Amino acid sequence: MPVPTVVNVLLYGADLADPVEGATMGGALLEIYGDNFRLPTPPPADYTPDPGARAPHTVEVVFRDTVSGAEEFATTVRVLASNKIRLHTPPTPIPVSFDPSDSTNNVIGEGLVDIVIRNLDDNEDPIPGEELVLSDAFTYRRPKLDATAPSDLERMVRAYIVAWMKHVIPNVLRTQHVDYDANPEDALNYVAVASLPAIVLVGPDTPINRFYSINADEETTLPDGTPIVSRKPVTVDLNFDVVIMSDNPMEILALNQLAIQFIDRNPWIYIDRDPDDAAAGTVRFEHAYQPGGDFASQTRPNNSSLEVVSGSVVIRGFPIADLASFAGEGITRAPVPLDSSTDSAISLDVGPMPE
């Protein structure tokens, strides 16, 4: 068979102008267009599918560091036709290196890599002479921590802080216990409390929530009609400790009542579904006390002149889906049936492809 050729490498579902790049942790869905990709041998007409079998691998795709030569193999490589491959990127093969004399020269897994495409024989061994190297074909980078494009988790926490500010008092902070507090369990000593009264939200802790978890990928379409399957999110709870502080013993009682009413009257916390599209509406998440998290006084005799009440609340079932700043990152695969007549080659009835 001739040597494979490649015309284009694209992120599935992304615009043609988007850079061909993905997170260092891998998982981006790529499509490679070219020719001479080896297809599986069709099974005989009397073949009986084996539920435990899979189609043999006929092509392997390797991501290779251009400097060290370190390699990582792409996962779920699917030869959709002799001119089309779809795959998930592996974690970055670029090793971590540090320059003790100049930290700006440190390499932390980011950079350009080559993509190597090899046809395989029926034993899944490389066929001599049927290999193609695409130089500098893919860029790995870490997600940007960009305040102008906050993650969904950042938006949720900000919305929650704003809700406390709107309905209880405006002096609401999010922070942690100070590192040098010998008794952090007393919930009395906090940084950044410049004035009283104040409410401090500590957290969130993010335990996995199995009850609200989505157990299947979601089939949907992009605005241009391209069919996609979105990666199922990791579903977590957002657990907060709420600490209310005042130097007035009567004011703390009023604040305690307001906090109880706020939680009771707001069983849902809302955020915009799409921060760039108001017409997309909002998404709501259950808001309640954590078990045993009712508000209780933390003030003890001779401990502090500060009046303190604290409790624990939870926002349940928050989905952590895609990585911010990556085009098409939340797409895990194309739906079945496949999206064009040229994809029919993968429909050979020889068992499931490995995930």
CATH of the domain at 182: 3.30.2000
Instruction: Tell me the pLDDT of the chain (355 aa) as tens digits.
Output: 688 888 888 877 666 667 888 889 888 888 899 999 999 877 777 777 777 667 788 999 999 999 899 999 998 888 888 999 988 899 999 998 887 887 777 778 889 999 999 999 988 999 999 999 999 999 998 877 665 667 788 889 999 999 999 999 999 988 754 444 445 454 444 445 668 899 999 989 999 988 887 666 566 666 666 666 666 678 899 999 999 989 898 999 999 999 999 999 999 999 988 887 888 888 899 999 999 889 888 876 655 678 889 999 999 999 887 565 565 555 554 444 333 333 333 322 233 333 4
At residue 207, the pLDDT reads: 93
Answer yes or no: do 38 and 90 share one domain: yes
The strand pairing partners of 120, in sequence order, are: 126
- Residue 42 within a domain: yes
At residue 229, the pLDDT reads: 63
Residue 160 to residue 179: CA distance in whole angstroms: 25
Answer yes or no: do 29 and 127 share one domain: yes
227 by DSSP, 3-state: which? strand
- pTM of the predicted model as reported, rounded to 2 decimal places: 0.69
Answer yes or no: do 158 and 306 share one domain: yes
At residue 144, the pLDDT reads: 72
At residue 117, the pLDDT reads: 95
- Residue 344 within a domain: no
Q: Which of 96, 114, 143 is the last residue in one of the domains? A: 143
Separation in Å, CA 266 to CA 112, 160, 259, 269: 49, 11, 11, 7
Residue 294 to residue 270: CA distance in whole angstroms: 22
Answer yes or no: do 13 and 122 share one domain: yes
Answer yes or no: do 162 and 72 share one domain: no
At residue 40, the pLDDT reads: 82
At residue 337, the pLDDT reads: 38
At residue 285, the pLDDT reads: 92
Answer yes or no: do 33 and 161 share one domain: no
- Residue 353 within a domain: no
Answer yes or no: do 136 and 165 share one domain: no
At residue 338, the pLDDT reads: 35
Residue-wise pLDDT tens digits, 150-175: 778 888 999 999 999 999 999 998 87
- Residue 326 within a domain: no
- Residue 325 within a domain: no
The strand pairing partners of 77, in sequence order, are: none
- Residue 348 within a domain: no
CATH value at residue 40: 2.60.40.10
Comparing CA positions, the residue from 53, 40, 58 lying closest to residue 124 is: 58
Answer yes or no: do 114 and 174 share one domain: no
At residue 240, the pLDDT reads: 95
- Residue 330 within a domain: no
Answer yes or no: do 161 and 308 share one domain: yes
At residue 116, the pLDDT reads: 95
Query: What domain count does the chain have?
Result: 2
Answer yes or no: do 219 and 277 share one domain: yes
- Residue 346 within a domain: no
Host domain of residue 51:
5-143
Q: Which of 93, 117, 143 is the last residue in one of the domains? A: 143
Answer yes or no: do 175 and 287 share one domain: yes
Per DSSP, the chain holds a count of helices (H) and strands (E) of 2, 21
At residue 220, the pLDDT reads: 62
At residue 354, the pLDDT reads: 37
Q: Which residues contact 155 (CB under 8 A, 6 or more apart)?
A: 271, 272, 275
